[in-house]
Structures are given as C-alpha cells and as structure tokens.
Amino acid sequence: MSATPTPLTAMITPSAPPPDCATYERAGGWQATRKALKTLAPADVIDIVTRSKLRGRGGAGFGTGQKWSFVPKELASERRKYLIANADEMEPGTFKDRWLLEGNPLQLVEGMILAAYAIQAGHGIIFLRGEYHLPRKRLTQAISEAREKGWLGDNILGSGFSFDIHLHSSGGRYICGEETALLTALEGRRATPRSKPPFPQFSGLWGASSVVNNVETLSNLPHIIANGPEWFISLGTGPDSGTKLYGVSGRVRKPGAWELPIGTPLRQIIEDYAGGMLPSYKLRALLPGGASTAFLDEAALDVAMDYGSVEKAGSRLGTGMAIVLDDRTCPVGMILNLEHFFAQESCGWCTPCRDGLPWVERLLSAIEEGSGETEDIEQLARHARMLGTPGRTFCAHAPGAMAPLASGLKLFADDFSAHISHHGCPLLHAA
C-alpha cells in the first residue's frame, strides 16, 4: 500500500481477514447506498458517475457512466436486466482485482448495488476466476452477510428497489475477459465472443439488457457517490480522474500493488514503490499494463500512467500492472512464453487467431531453440501486422497478443538476429 492509504484500499490490510458489515459501516461503508436509494434517482447516479469521468479499470478504459447510459430506462421490476462483475482476471502479470476481492469484498458488493440501482438491474452476477479460491470464500461470506443485514434482497432500505448477487466460478479461459465471451460462458456455452451490434446493454445475458464492469471499476463507486464527482476528479494528476491500482512484477526489490493517483509517473512506481531493480539487475524494458500491451524501454520511464500518455508513448495503460524485463532475461524467450499463453487461450472462433497464434509460437520456438532462420523474423513481423490490426480478427484477443511481439521485434532486433547467428539463445550459450 501507499504511505497514505487512499479510498479504494484504505480498509485492506495484507494477510488480515476482510471487514464484516459492522466494521465496514463504521469506516463509512453503506453511506453511498443510503444516499443513492433514499435521495437520488437512477438517472442522478448515472449523471454523478459520468461527471466523475470514471473510466473502466479492466483495460479498455471506456467511460463507465456513458456505458450505463445506453441501457433501456425501464425499472428493474418492469424489465429483466443483469449487472455482471468481471472478476475473471487472467491477464498475465495482473493481480489487482484479487487484492480487492480478498481485502474488502463488501466494497465490491456495495459498488454492485449502486451500479445495479443506476441501470435498474434486479440481478447481479460475479464472474470469478475459478482458481481464486480464497476470494470465492470471502465473497460468499460477504454476500451472505449483506443479504442477512438487508443490503441485498427485496425492497432494500424500503426503497422499492430489489437486487441480489449470485457468485459464479469460471471454468477458466482468458477469452472470458472479453465481455461477450463472458456472457456466452455464463449461459453454459463455449466461451466465444459475439458480434456487435447488438451490444450487451440491449441484448446480453439470455437476451436481456446487461452491463459488464470490472471489479476495480465497481469498487470505486461507493466513494464517488459518497464524496461527489469533483472529489474524485481532484484525485487524478492529469486528464484522467481518481486513483488507480498499479503493480509491478519481475526482478524488483518489492513486487506488489499500490493505489496511487492516476497519472503517477512510471518511474516513480518502479523506483519508489517497487524499490527499483534487484542488485546486479538492470531494467531493460517493460510491459506497462499486463501481457497484452506493447513493450516500453527505459527512455519511456517518465511517462505518466494515464490512458492518453501511455498511448502516446506507444503502448496502452491496460490493467496498470507492469511486467519488468531485466537485462539477464532473454527477451525472445519472454515473448515466446507470452505467445504460448495467447495461442493456447485462443477460443478458436476465427481462423487468423486460431491458426496464426500457434504458428507464431512455432516460429519463436524454432528461433529460441536454434533452428530458426532469418526469414522467420520476417514471417513474425508479417504475422504481427496481419493479426495485430483491429478488425482482421473477430475480437481483440489476437491484436492484444501481437502487442508484445510487434514491439519486441523492434526493441530487441539485435537479440532476434543473435539467436539466428548463434543457433539459439546467446544467454544459454554463455551459461
């Protein structure tokens, strides 16, 4: 955690059990629910969140209030609607949602109540990564207690609004991070993306209006409603609003996650919070927002970690969880490891992704193992162009997979060439 706890993580203590309903309420929990259900209309909640400029924290960065505004306006009692919390979190290098789920699951529950009230959804579902056993246990307890205390169920606070939450453990596929594939999986079918339009806000889960929001996005809502949009805007350091959970993994002194003002410089996150590189290691490059973002080198360390600044630097903010590449790790081997993951996680729905990603993996394997040829590098560059262009595949899985490859071919061109001339990884030969 940061030296001064900020709202999203203020009640989270590592290794400690999460707060119960009474503890959560003493710390200010549920006041946003009371405020919304007793004094605000659903349209007022949407307006507050829109004015706060909260953007989705799952990676895409779409405006949360704008996303809600597309949902038909009928009351929950008049139209079947669903609110789904995406807690599948399978992006390599990303563990921010797990921290929130284990540390303060009631914050997510309250955020879902507020979002559901805003769009008038009577049904909530948490789509949880199947391997997240402790989060499942703590979420089950939090939902049960919230239901027992009257925060979930029929006629909450006598407002006439009814809402309950069901917890669903995923079978485990990375593609479920794509919201329409998530909805398809919830329906008990193979997790494949859907064509859009229609968008989920009009025709989502079982044909009903549905909104899918990330855990971190929803966890911000109690604080925005309780404190107002201007307060949330003031927390950011640049064009974006609020705080962001940032993390660092790799050979740094203190890998972890911290809540910081959105727009905090990348160098500050790595050097001040992650403690810098381990002794005898140097930073060579990094993926700033998880495995499906493009590499940035040391020259980009002073970039502000907000959506626009990272994009101008040549990558994406993504989940905000950086993966550090040090000077003693083979970049070709790292990219091979990433592409192996993306190839096996392709849903197989469209030919370019289904056949292209395994072919990329085979080319990289040959280069790493010593049987690669110069033409293989040209083939990789061609695949990076063809698969990395949005619109050439059914969803964004392949373009995301190509981000580390395309940027790696440019940043580590000498390493790829050395693998060809040395007939394998020079680092392994040196060892």
The DSSP annotation for 316-376 comes to --TTSEEEEEETTS-HHHHHHHHHHHHHHH----SHHHHHHHHHHHHHHHHHHHT---HHH
Question: Which CATH number do you get for residue 95?
Answer: 3.40.50.11540
Residue 147 and residue 26 share a domain? yes
Residue 273 and residue 211 share a domain? no
DSSP state of 269: I
The count of structural domains within the chain is 3
Instruction: Look at residue 56 and tell me if it is in a domain.
Output: yes
The sign of the torsion formed by the CA atoms of 324, 328, 331, 336 equals negative
The bridge status of strand 321-326 relative to strand 243-249 is parallel
Cα-flanking dihedrals φ and ψ of residue 251, to 5°? -85, 65
Cβ contacts of residue 375 below 8 Å, gap of 6+? none
Cβ contacts of residue 132 below 8 Å, gap of 6+? 87, 89, 98, 101, 169
**Quick count: other Cβ atoms within 10 Å of Cβ 15?**
6
Q: What is the mean pLDDT of each run of 10 residues along the chain (431 residues)?
A: 64 88 96 98 98 92 94 89 96 95 97 98 96 96 98 97 96 90 95 93 96 97 97 94 97 97 97 97 97 96 96 96 97 98 95 96 96 96 95 93 98 96 83 51
Residue 228 and residue 92 share a domain? yes
Instruction: Look at residue 342 and tell me if it is in a domain.
Output: yes
Instruction: Look at residue 120 and tell me if it is in a domain.
Output: yes
Instruction: Look at residue 2 and tell me if it is in a domain.
Output: no
Q: pTM value?
A: 0.94
Instruction: Look at residue 64 and tell me if it is in a domain.
Output: yes
Residue 79 and residue 124 share a domain? yes
Residue 19 and residue 149 share a domain? yes
Residue 344 and residue 261 share a domain? no
Instruction: Look at residue 344 and tell me if it is in a domain.
Output: yes
User: Rg of the Cα trace of the chain?
Assistant: 22
pLDDT per residue as tens digits for the range 59-111: 888 999 999 999 999 888 888 999 999 999 999 999 999 999 999 999 999 99
Question: Which CATH number do you get for residue 374?
Answer: 1.20.1440.230
Residue 252 and residue 362 share a domain? no
Start-to-end C-alpha separation, the chain: 38
Q: What is the pLDDT of residue 1?
A: 37
Residue 350 and residue 403 share a domain? yes
Residue 335 CA: distances (Å) to CA of 264, 270, 412, 416, 429: 27, 21, 11, 11, 19
Residue 158 and residue 298 share a domain? no
Q: What is the pLDDT of residue 3?
A: 44
Out of 299, 326, 353, a domain closes at 326
Out of 303, 326, 349, a domain closes at 326
Q: What is the pLDDT of residue 172?
A: 76
Residue 320 and residue 174 share a domain? no
Residue 159 and residue 281 share a domain? no
Helix, coil or strand: residue 42: helix
Out of 197, 213, 235, a domain closes at 235
Residue 394 and residue 265 share a domain? no
Residue 97 CA: distances (Å) to CA of 13, 55, 137, 179: 15, 16, 15, 16
Instruction: Look at residue 254 and tell me if it is in a domain.
Output: yes
Partner residues linked to 55 by β-bridges: 63
pLDDT per residue as tens digits for the range 303-315: 999 999 999 999 9
Please give the residue range of the domain that contains residue 317.
243-326
Instruction: Look at residue 416 and tell me if it is in a domain.
Output: yes
